[in-house]
Structure 1
Amino acid sequence: MQKLTNKEEEIMQILWKLEKAFVKDVLAEIKKDKPHYNTLSTIIRNLEEKGYVSYNAYGKTHQYYPIISKEVYKEKYMNTAIENYFNNSYKNVVSFFAKEEKISVDELKEIIAIIEKNN
């Protein structure tokens, strides 16, 4: 599974949300920095070449849909980020967010409760 560019990830987020879409539908969902229609079409074709999307053809028009789920992508790239930036340690991940004040004590307590419930 190839890593996606930021713009490809943005397009995949839209396709995961819409489930099936024509290029014009994807374009309508982009709120800022809208690419030209042809540029967006090229990005989606690149996603197809990378194995992230497929399509149904209706004459010359294609309706695209994701073939890699958001969950599969998230798991792959979260694991990669944890390996590359946190020495493969979830404790380091949680510590990072605590130091950055991105997670509260109450949220940490909720996490601990979830872990205790599942063990």
Structure 2
Amino acid sequence: MKQLTKAEEEVMHILWEMKEGIVKDILKGFKDKQPAYNTVATVLKVLKKKEIVDYRKVGNIYMYYPLISKEEYSSYQMKHLLKNYFGGSFARLAAFFAKDNEMDIEELEELLKDAGHTSNS
């Protein structure tokens, strides 16, 4: 799986929520400033090339849909973050978030306990 740009992620979040859609519908999913039609169409072409989305042709329209789930991409992102920024150590990641979010010892222990339980499932 390849890393997505911010623009690609924005389009994917909309597409994951919609399940499938045409460019015009994806444009409506932007909450703030709506990009140009051609911009979204180009992003979708790049995502197709990266094998993140595909489309089916319905008449003259391309109906785009995700090839990976939001959960699969989130898992990939977390593994990438863990490997590249915390040396693969969940404990370092937890310590970083604990410090950054001013967690108390009980919250940190609960986080580590949950992480241990999840990784053994």
Opposite residue 82 of structure 2, the aligned amino acid is: I
> Following TM superposition, by how much is the alpha carbon of 1:58 offset from its aligned partner in structure 2, in angstroms?
1.0
Partner in structure 2 of residue 33 of structure 1: 33
1:60 partner amino acid: N
Give the alignment's TM-score, normalised by structure 1: 0.87
**1-structure distance, mates of 2:47, 2:72:** 15
**Residues 87-102 of structure 1: pairs in structure 2 closer than 5 A:** 87-101=87-101
Cα offsets for 1:84-114 (capped at 9, x unmatched): 1011110011110111116455543543553
CA RMSD of aligned residues (A): 2.0
SS in 2 for 1:21: coil
The 2-side partners of 1:63 and 1:21 are apart by: 5
Alpha carbons of structure 1 residues 44 and 103: separation in structure 2 relative to 1, 3 Å: farther
Which residue in 2 is equivalent to 1:82? 82
Residue by residue over 1:26-61, the C-alpha shift from the partner in whole angstroms, topping out at 9 and shown as x without a partner, is 100101232101111111111111100011111220
Number of the residue aligned with 1:62: 62
TM-score (structure 2 length as normaliser):
0.86
Partner of 1:46 in structure 2?
A: 46
1:65 counterpart SS class = strand
Unaligned stretches of 5+ residues in structure 2: none
Aligned residues: 119
- Unmatched 5+ residue regions in structure 1? none
Contact 2:22 2:62 in 1 (8 A): yes
Give the superposition deviation at 1:116. Answer: 7.0
> How far did residue 25 of structure 1 move?
1.1
Partner Cα separation in structure 2 for residue 86 and residue 116 of structure 1:
17
